[in-house]
Every structure is written in structure tokens, then in C-alpha cells.
Structure 1
Amino acid sequence: MAKYLLLKHYRGAPDAVNNVPMDRWTPQEISDHIRYMNDFAARLEETGEYVDSQALAPGGEWVRYDGEGRPPVTDGPFAETKDVIAGWMVIDVDGHDRAVELAGELSAAPGAGGRPIHEWLELRPFLTEAPTVTE
């Protein structure tokens, strides 16, 4: 088994197939989207492939240690990027092909008008071994 992070990127960019911002979805469209996500997670719980997931609130800050005491904090991520990290899911699957299959299915969550939003998902494998340095 291999763990993967599915990092959910909601894009309001012109290249998106279903380019209706979430703040313009009807309450029913939001409910349908959440139901799809919950049903997807429940199905993966039954197969033993679900580990964890969480939706993220808008906004955030960048924090970086500067060596001077309290770390500096800046606003971000910045709204002008048109890309919002909406949440994440961790899965534990037999391999990369299964992870890609599930990511594609999750990307089809419904949005405005019940059409799939074709959400961008960043698929990242978990590090399983400490990196080694060779000379």
C-alpha cells in the first residue's frame, strides 16, 4: 500500500471547464457537491483506502523563520492567483495507477448546474524512506 495526498485546487481560471465561482453556486449545488465528496470518502472507507480529509477555509498566511525571533507573517495565499487550495484527502492505495484513478473520479465532483467541476488535484506520494545523499 502507498499513501498519497490529493490536494484540491479550486480554479476560477478561464481554462476551467465549469468556470462558475463557488460563491455563485446555489445552496442545492453546494449540498450536492458536499454529498459527492462525503459519498466518495465513505466508499473509500469501505475499501480501506481512505485515511483522512479536510476542507480548508479561505485565506491564510505565509510564515517563515527569519532568525530574528518572532517569524514574519504576510498575507496569503493571494486572491489574484485565482487558485484556492480548497482541501485535501489522504488515501492509501495499491499503487500510483489506483491513485490516479481516484483523483480523476474526485475531480468530477459536481458544481454549478450539476456539471463536473473538473477540479485540479495535486497528487503527491508520501515520503516512505528518508532521502539519501550520495557523493
Structure 2
Amino acid sequence: MKYLVMVQGSQADYEGMAGRGSAGSPAWDKAQLQAMFDHMNAINEELTSTGEMLDAQGLAAPSTTRFVTVDANGDPVVTDGPYAETKEVLAGYWILDCPTLDRVTEIAAQVARCPVPPGSPDHPVVIRPIDETVPTLD
């Protein structure tokens, strides 16, 4: 079965990783960043070798986000970030093909063990099964 495994974060986390800490997220140093990248790369290499990884991406900072809606006339309404009211956003994801929910939960726990600086917020790793059913219009 296919699963979407999502890592949460915030704009403050991205700022902290750029060395600009705040009350919401401490500043990371180069060694801490390298430890995080090494951890995630090891997971990616394992998942590639087992054939479970279909895709994985880290996402750019929430401040680069663009929301697109439409007005009453169907014309686009575009709003740029950052969004102070948004506490958590999607920071990265994996699309995995795993035999069981238990296996993907093991992987999510491995992701959650990623090294971070002391005082970093604790963001969940979210698992969502991908619905591959094809709806019928009977």
C-alpha cells in the first residue's frame, strides 16, 4: 500500500536552520545541520535500497508560499506568505510503498528521531494512506 509520510515545521524552524534563532526555534550550527542531513540521507538510502521509496522532497520555507483561490467571478486571488497565523506547515514528505501500516510507522519513528538542537519544537511525523481506489459513477 502507498503512504504519504509528512514532516511538519514552521517558518521559525527554517529561520533557525539558517542560523537565525528565535523563541520559537533555536539557531542551528553547521554540525547540527549536517547531522540532520546525514540522518535524512541515511533514511532515503535505506528506503531506496528496499524499494519502498517512490518519491521524497524537502520543501522551501513557508515564506515562499503562494495561496491561490478564486473570487465570486472565478478570477484568481493570489496571496503571498509568510503567514504568522500558520503554526505548522508541511516541511517535507516521502511517498512510500510499504507492505503494512506497521512498517510505515517504523519508518516514521525513524524520521522522528532526527537530531535537532536542544530546545527545538517537537513536530509530529504524519502518515496518510494514499487512496488508490478509482471512483465509479454509477
In the superposition, the TM-score normalised over structure 2's length comes to 0.76
Is the 2:25–2:120 contact (alpha carbons within 8 Å) kept by the matching residues of 1?
no
Q: Distance in 1 between matches of 2:122 and 2:46?
A: 20
Structure 1 residue 116 displacement after superposition: 9.2
Aligned-CA RMSD value: 2.9
User: Per the alignment, do residues 50 and 116 of structure 1 end up closer, same or farther by CA in structure 2, a change over 3 Å counting?
Assistant: farther
Paired letter, 1:66: D
Structure 2 counterpart of 1:82 = 87
User: Per the alignment, do residues 63 and 98 of structure 1 end up closer, same or farther by CA in structure 2, a change over 3 Å counting?
Assistant: same
User: Per the alignment, do residues 80 and 117 of structure 1 end up closer, same or farther by CA in structure 2, a change over 3 Å counting?
Assistant: closer
1:31 aligns to 2:34 (yes or no) = yes
Q: Distance in 1 between matches of 2:114 and 2:120?
A: 5
Paired letter, 2:34: S
Matches within 5 A, 1:1-135: 2-10=1-9, 21=25, 24-58=27-61, 59=63, 60-66=65-71, 68-76=73-81, 78-112=83-117, 118-131=122-135
Q: Distance in 2 between matches of 1:126 and 1:26?
A: 36
Structure 1 residue 53 displacement after superposition: 0.7
Paired letter, 2:50: T
Q: How many residues align?
A: 126
In the superposition, the TM-score normalised over structure 1's length comes to 0.77
> Which sections of structure 2, spanning at least 5 residues, go unmatched?
13-22
User: Per the alignment, do residues 111 and 99 of structure 1 end up closer, same or farther by CA in structure 2, a change over 3 Å counting?
Assistant: same
Q: Distance in 2 between matches of 1:120 and 1:132?
A: 35
Residues 84-113 of structure 1 deviation map (CA, whole Å, 9 limit, x = unaligned)? 321111111002111111111111111115
Q: Distance in 2 between matches of 1:117 and 1:42?
A: 26
* Higher mean C-alpha displacement, 51-60 vs 81-90: 81-90
Paired letter, 2:101: H
Q: Distance in 2 between matches of 1:71 and 1:79?
A: 23
Q: Distance in 1 between matches of 2:50 and 2:122?
A: 24
